[in-house]
Amino acid sequence: MIICKPKPAVQFVLFALLAVTYGISFLLIGYIVQGKQSIWLYGGVLISLIVTFLFTIRVLIGHKSLFIDKGKISVKYLFRTYTFDAQAITSWEEIEIKTFNNQVFKQIDLVLENQKVSFSQQEHTDYDKLLQFLKKIKKQVKGKP
């Protein structure tokens, strides 16, 4: 069984950033409630609330896990789950990008029927097992999947 889910360190950082953005938003709202009102404060509240809202949506939508067991592939998002057969893999591609300090960022783009899912080595567990499974079951497609 292959379980490809977000690493705990990545989850901690994302939720810590969420806590900071919510803290800034509530701090600015507190200043407005106390009566220390100025034009820049209203702008700061508006900007911080928009950033906080968009970041929260990004974290909730972007949280996904992949479960592979006995020829079944399940992609689990926070609020829904999709299940496919292993033959439902239309195409996949491993992308490698060299970063400025000679490290390599690796990502697998997986197309299951009409759904595209991406998993990166730095953010998800069992990346190597997923790559071995994909090489065994279907040949890699170069270019846009």
Q: What is the pTM of this model?
A: 0.75
Residue 55 belongs to domain spanning: 2-62
Q: Helix or strand or coil: residue 121? A: coil
Q: Is 139 a member of any domain?
A: no
Q: Is 84 a member of any domain?
A: no
Q: Is 14 a member of any domain?
A: yes
Q: Give the model confidence (pLDDT) of 11-37 as tens digits.
A: 899 899 999 989 988 888 888 888 767
Q: Is 111 a member of any domain?
A: no
Q: What pairing do the DSSP bridges indicate for beta strands 115-120 and 64-69?
A: unpaired
Q: Is 67 a member of any domain?
A: no
Q: Give the model confidence (pLDDT) of 108-145 as tens digits.
A: 998 888 888 889 888 899 989 988 888 888 776 665 54
Q: Is 41 a member of any domain?
A: yes
Q: Is 123 a member of any domain?
A: no
Q: Give the model confidence (pLDDT) of 82-95 as tens digits.
A: 898 888 888 889 99
Domain count within the chain? 1
Q: For residues 84 and 87, what is the distance between their CA atoms, to the nearest angstrom? A: 8
